[in-house]
Structure 1
């Protein structure tokens, strides 16, 4: 699982940085009760299971996992928030993984239940469920090549339904349609994918974007939305779709399709659109992200509301299938503009930037975690109206891997 490997490497880098720092601050930081939940990986070579800590604000103050927090069971976790519930899911390396469900009471995490669910690589809330999908990376030796899907009820906190999908049909080119993510759009499930023909994620079709459309909850395949103006949507384990307030769906492409270890797409990193109530790309809308951002590609984003995003950017010259941008920008999909964020640490000073971040969806504010080479870890507040970043909550004891808020 690429993102999990990246996480482990980042931890080791961070450990080395901490070891080289002359100052070793072991100050005991008291608990910080609140409804914000942060997942933090300890800065230790062994025993790097995440800790979950709460915070009352992301704008200021300090939290620490030293003497605080709830240790998770297992090294690699992914997190889903649904209303007042926080689901901590173990990546079981192909085996079923433990899931722990929390809410917050009096500013502290309160465990509601434990259960076991399948290990997957794409998941999202759909209605009052969590839909999870596991797509193969290779063709079946015999018979159809199938993907497995599972539904977890956020009301009963249990896996309730499962089934299979034909993993080849959506690509319409004979390759496996490997989902980059899944998203509820209206009463449908959209599954953007990159078509692959082997475990190396290689493709003979680098210059097209595909989104498989499914009915819910039956997961009956309906059609594939296609576009040849961009490469595939999203990235491995990265959500490339966002639904805005009027129901329109926007999609980003990093243009990182590959074959033989070489990037092969001829299309620019782009933003495309599917209008509300339709299942076709809007051929009158396309942002050439490389042009709009003065030479960058988009690698991730956080929707802020009111057509605005915080985007992670990487220079086109150094783009790669798994390179994550360390420079931030503000993307306005209505005005079709990209503005670089000032006040955020420069890329050379950053170990990594958190991918699982938070916004109250007010059209202005986003919170992004950053782990710095000097050994410190912070939450930065992003103001889209001024395209500026300001240092907020300080996190001690490890790397931020997720920032969420519970109602």
Structure 2
């Protein structure tokens, strides 16, 4: 067990070290699931070496519900720090710290994994999202740069097609803009951010939600959308501030959780809505998470379909949350249309891992890895009946990604 004083966002390896024992999870996508293969699941396992650094092993598995999941002698090996996200039939590993590159991971006909492309950037990417069937959009938003950079990437070759730079001053006049989430809908790209002190990682401005609107595909800055019903959108390293439904409507999650990096909380937690193609928040829509959960909040959100999202609810009041702790969490389903929250039974209360949620949505189920006192275990959660089944044990310090190809 680690003390809360070990969570230091300005030193990413320290954050991962402190998370190694109990910070686990899984990563998925909003895209339709491909057909099953012999080993349809891929799990990215993080293993700590004798030098205290981590190596990530992305390994295919045919069964994640029995036995144990091990990286020994198999999988794609990547030392350093990596964030993983799946778009279509490709997993993208996004390098951080000294490895500011992006590599695609796909599956061969024989079920083995191969790396596709290898792109390097000046700064680590904040995120990659799908623009269309041929194009990805990647974002550089760094406290060390006065430019916001949008890269379009060919989805097949994993090669950069174009880069557009815009001034950070469009977003903030002092401090820096920290990434909260990004989605494209209609003719616009929506970029959620919050104000952060790059030296202390404190959050000096929490009085309103802020989402920048850029035209797409030209990336011309249009305006800043604001809403004072809640605080900023998103949180440190979670990358889940914005999700999009089938209609193109974008939902913006605000929590201001100390557990996810905020140094102060001044507004209620909740979810706002941006109608498809709009450049202002929908004044008629507000999902009051605190009211639905008895004062609780959520930082992790993954869209499932039909207006429903998988969520990790922080069960500690914000006044009682340890900063950077990302917990304690309970798994739940939020109905964005009906405005309900339903907890999933059978999943123990657990800590998060302080980074992108590593979970995969497959039909009526979400698979996620949960840390317990005796180890890390896969849980298969029925998101229609709100029950869960415990599966395989995971042989890793933590899980950085969970996918199905």
**Band the TM-score falls in, shorter-chain normalisation:** 0.7 to 0.9
Which residue of the partner structure matches residue 77 of structure 1?
Answer: 82
TM-score normalised by length of structure 2: 0.82
1:107 to 111, 116, 120: 111
Q: What's the secondary structure of 1:102's corresponding residue? A: strand
Taking the aligned partners of 1:268 and 1:96, their CA distance within structure 2 comes to: 36
Q: Tell me how far 1:61 sits from its aligned partner.
A: 5.2
Q: Tell me how far 1:91 sits from its aligned partner.
A: 1.6
Q: Within the alignment, does 1:346 sit opposite 2:345 as a pair?
A: no
Against the structure 1 CA distance between its residues 252 and 351, is the aligned structure 2 distance closer, same or farther, given a 3 Å change threshold? closer
Q: Within the alignment, does 1:195 sit opposite 2:195 as a pair?
A: yes
**Following superposition of structure 1 onto structure 2, how do residues 250-265 of structure 1 map, counting pairs within 5 Å?**
250-256=251-257, 263-265=263-265
1:56–1:107 contact (8 Å) kept in structure 2: no
Q: What's the secondary structure of 2:153's corresponding residue? A: strand
Which residue of the partner structure matches residue 403 of structure 1?
Answer: 402
Q: Tell me how far 1:4 sits from its aligned partner.
A: 5.4
1:380–1:392 contact (8 Å) kept in structure 2: yes
Against the structure 1 CA distance between its residues 147 and 351, is the aligned structure 2 distance closer, same or farther, given a 3 Å change threshold? closer
Q: Tell me how far 1:116 sits from its aligned partner.
A: 2.9
Structure ID, larger Rg:
1
Against the structure 1 CA distance between its residues 351 and 217, is the aligned structure 2 distance closer, same or farther, given a 3 Å change threshold? closer
Q: Tell me how far 1:390 sits from its aligned partner.
A: 1.5
Across the aligned residues of Structure 1 and Structure 2, the Cα RMSD in angstroms comes to 2.9
Tell me the alpha carbon deviations over residues 320-371 of structure 1, each in whole angstroms, 9 at most, x when there is no partner: 5533232222211111111222211233xx57587221113x4x42121223
Q: Bigger shift: 221-230 or 309-318?
A: 309-318
Taking the aligned partners of 2:307 and 2:140, their CA distance within structure 1 comes to: 31
Which residue of the partner structure matches residue 10 of structure 1?
Answer: 19
Taking the aligned partners of 1:356 and 1:187, their CA distance within structure 2 comes to: 30
Taking the aligned partners of 1:405 and 1:371, their CA distance within structure 2 comes to: 21
**Following superposition of structure 1 onto structure 2, how do residues 315-354 of structure 1 map, counting pairs within 5 Å?**
315-316=316-317, 317-319=319-321, 322-325=324-327, 326-347=329-350, 352=353
Q: Tell me how far 1:193 sits from its aligned partner.
A: 0.8
2:312–2:332 contact (8 Å) kept in structure 1: yes
Q: Tell me how far 1:297 sits from its aligned partner.
A: 1.1
1:89 to 82, 86, 94: 94
**Following superposition of structure 1 onto structure 2, how do residues 1-400 of structure 1 map, counting pairs within 5 Å?**
5-11=14-20, 13=21, 34-46=39-51, 48-60=54-66, 62-72=68-78, 74-93=79-98, 96-97=100-101, 99-118=103-122, 119-127=124-132, 128-137=134-143, 145-171=146-172, 176-196=176-196, 198-238=198-238, 239-256=240-257, 263-314=263-314, 315-316=316-317, 317-319=319-321, 322-325=324-327, 326-347=329-350, 352=353, 355-360=357-362, 362=363, 364-374=364-374, 376-400=375-399
How many pairs were matched up?
374
* Structure 2 unaligned regions, length at least 5: 1-8, 24-36
Taking the aligned partners of 1:187 and 1:262, their CA distance within structure 2 comes to: 32
Taking the aligned partners of 1:335 and 1:241, their CA distance within structure 2 comes to: 19
Higher RCO (C-alpha 8 Å, min separation 6)? 2
Against the structure 1 CA distance between its residues 214 and 97, is the aligned structure 2 distance closer, same or farther, given a 3 Å change threshold? same
TM-score normalised by length of structure 1: 0.82
Q: Tell me how far 1:105 sits from its aligned partner.
A: 2.5
Tell me the alpha carbon deviations over residues 53-107 of structure 1, each in whole angstroms, 9 at most, x when there is no partner: 11224454542112332211x31112232322222232243x6436354334322
